[in-house]
Amino acid sequence: AKRVVLVSRPVGEPKASDFRIEEYAPPTPGEGQVLLRTIWLSLDPYMRGRMSDGPSYATPVPIGGVMEGGTVSEVIASNNPGFDKGDIVLSRAGWQTHALLDGKALTKIDPKLGPVSTAVGVLGMPGMTAYTGLLDIGKPQAGETVVVAAASGAVGSAVGQIARIKGARAVGIAGGKDKCDYVKKELGFDDCLDHRDPNLAAKLKDACPKGIDVYFENVGGAVFEAVFPLLNPFARVPVCGLIAHYNDTEAKAPKWASSLMRAVLTKRLTIRGFIVSDFAARHADFLRDMSQWVREGKVRHREFVTEGLENAPAAFMGLLKGANFGKQLVRIGPD
């Protein structure tokens, strides 16, 4: 068996030498435990936070520890009456080919619901993030304008499509023409702009003639600066992620922090951070609605597959820079 461990805490962008691939002998399950073989490893931006030991809502991966991550795995040996050999489960097995876990930490996946990879994508954590952040905090109303960046990605793609289902106008922001074309033509957003365009702010203003009512914040940085002046009174800003800043080495006080607070007051903005697990009670609603929308073709999704555990570090480094086009997965073993 193989696993990827954290060797050093990155300063700025992670590099290949921050990771090491190790071989190990998979252990046999003790009482209540199951041995898993990984099929799909999900790579997600939050993993950058786990590599650092600064203050966070979650504990970091220890140096020498296996990189954390959600997986779709198959039970290959079970010492737990709740699981049989061959069961497909959602687990937090991390970046490794095999894992020994307590049955309590696993959720069975019904392969009849669709390709099992969707359990870490559109029907899993990223889909649930889009659903809860948009509906429970953003609360888009028919005719309103919703803006989301990283719009071709796992979370952003679902945000815009759910906004459309609710009758809102969806404007995406993504890196490059191919992603913008996909967001407009395949996902049906009303518009999509390239965040690398030097005229982003002016183009966003044209694309949002009635201002912005919901800004689903995935990115921060220059995108937020373009969005901020366009926020309407009573706009809602679910703060989901700030990927433009994950490699920052120092906190930069925005030169306009005071104007931000002034706008929060005068425009009565709601800016609310959230972690998807805050909305655990909404999981059944999410699965019911999202699986129906996916079946009906109202929510489309795209997977970006990297082959082999040894390529996981490079794929993760690419994810932070937009090299992925869709939900980033690593195929560790056959379905």
The SS3 of residue 112 is helix
Is 44 within 8 Å of 70 (Cβ atoms)?
yes
- The number of C-alpha atoms within 13 Å of 118 and in the hemisphere containing its C-beta is 18
Of 193 and 231, nearer to ligand NDP (C-beta) is 193
Of 34 and 319, nearer to ligand NDP (C-beta) is 319
Report the nearest approach of ligand NDP to the CB of residue 8 (Å): 22
Residue type at 304 in one-letter notation: F
Count Cβ neighbours within 10 Å for each residue of 134-169 and write b for 16 or more, e otherwise: bbebbebeeebbbbbbbbbbbbbbbbbbbbbebebb
- The number of beta carbons lying within 10 Å of the beta carbon of residue 71 is 25
C-alpha–C-alpha distance, residues 99 and 90, integer Å? 12
Of 87 and 191, nearer to ligand NDP (C-beta) is 191
C-alpha–C-alpha distance, residues 108 and 34, integer Å? 13
Report the nearest approach of ligand NDP to the CB of residue 196 (Å): 8
Report the nearest approach of ligand NDP to the CB of residue 70 (Å): 10
Report the nearest approach of ligand NDP to the CB of residue 283 (Å): 13
Report the nearest approach of ligand NDP to the CB of residue 158 (Å): 8
Of 34 and 244, nearer to ligand NDP (C-beta) is 244
Residue that is written with structure tokens 């650092």 in the block: 52
Residue type at 301 in one-letter notation: H
Of 126 and 138, nearer to ligand NDP (C-beta) is 126
Of 135 and 154, nearer to ligand NDP (C-beta) is 154
Report the nearest approach of ligand NDP to the CB of residue 83 (Å): 27
Report the nearest approach of ligand NDP to the CB of residue 192 (Å): 9
Report the nearest approach of ligand NDP to the CB of residue 204 (Å): 13
Of 29 and 70, nearer to ligand NDP (C-beta) is 70
Report the nearest approach of ligand NDP to the CB of residue 182 (Å): 10
Is 78 within 8 Å of 34 (Cβ atoms)?
yes
Contacts by 244-253, CB closer than 8 A, 24 or more apart: 244/219, 244/220, 245/220, 245/221, 246/45, 246/48, 246/49, 246/320, 247/10, 247/12, 247/13, 247/14, 247/48, 247/320, 249/11, 249/12
Of 29 and 220, nearer to ligand NDP (C-beta) is 220
Of 158 and 309, nearer to ligand NDP (C-beta) is 158
The SS3 of residue 174 is strand
C-alpha–C-alpha distance, residues 279 and 169, integer Å? 25
Interacting residue ranges for ligand NDP, rule: CB under 6 A:
44-46, 126, 129, 149-150, 152-156, 174-175, 179, 195, 218-219, 221, 223, 240-241, 243-244, 274-276, 319, 322, 324, 327-328
C-alpha–C-alpha distance, residues 228 and 270, integer Å? 13
Residue type at 77 in one-letter notation: A
